[in-house]
């Protein structure tokens, strides 16, 4: 079964306090849903239309698990805390078998 991944690239952070509140809730929510952070805030080399801002990569055991984690109540609470504090590109992608 292919793994699932969250890929999140932050275009801008307008409210660091909201981001901090989100981080406090999102970390435990992701972990409880079986997610493993593979990369966060490391070095980025962007090409073409890429953005070299904050980039996060989280792995789940399956695509369905990744989708369910995003819809979970604890993660939704984290999103409420984040609100309009950032602009980001968030994707859930299926890995190769």
Q: What is the pLDDT of residue 27?
A: 96
Q: What is the pLDDT of residue 24?
A: 97
Q: How far apart are the first and last CA of the chain?
A: 6
Assess whether pLDDT exceeds 90 at residue 52: no
Which residue segments constitute the domains of the chain, with CATH numbers given?
4-94 (3.30.70.100)
Cβ pair 60, 5 in contact under 8 A? yes
Q: What is the pLDDT of residue 50?
A: 84
Assess whether pLDDT exceeds 90 at residue 76: yes
Q: What is the CA radius of gyration of the chain?
A: 13
Residue 94, burial from CB neighbour count under 10 angstroms (0-12, 13-18, 19+): middle
Assess whether pLDDT exceeds 90 at residue 21: yes
Assess whether pLDDT exceeds 90 at residue 97: no
Query: pLDDT band at 41, cuts 50/70/90?
Result: confident
Cα 2 to chain centroid distance, Å, stands at 19
Cβ pair 92, 5 in contact under 8 A? yes
């Amino acid at each position: 079964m292919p793994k699932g991944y969250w890929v999140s690239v932050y275009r801008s952070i307008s409210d660091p306090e909201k981001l901090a509140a989100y981080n406090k809730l999102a970390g435990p929510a992701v972990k409880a849903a079986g997610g493993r952070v593979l990369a966060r805030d490391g070095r980025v080399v962007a090409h073409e239309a890429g953005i070299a801002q904050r980039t996060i990569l989280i792995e789940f055991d399956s695509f369905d698990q990744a989708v369910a984690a995003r819809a979970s109540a604890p993660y939704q609470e984290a999103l409420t805390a984040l609100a309009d504090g950032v602009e980001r590109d968030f994707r859930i992608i299926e890995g190769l078998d």
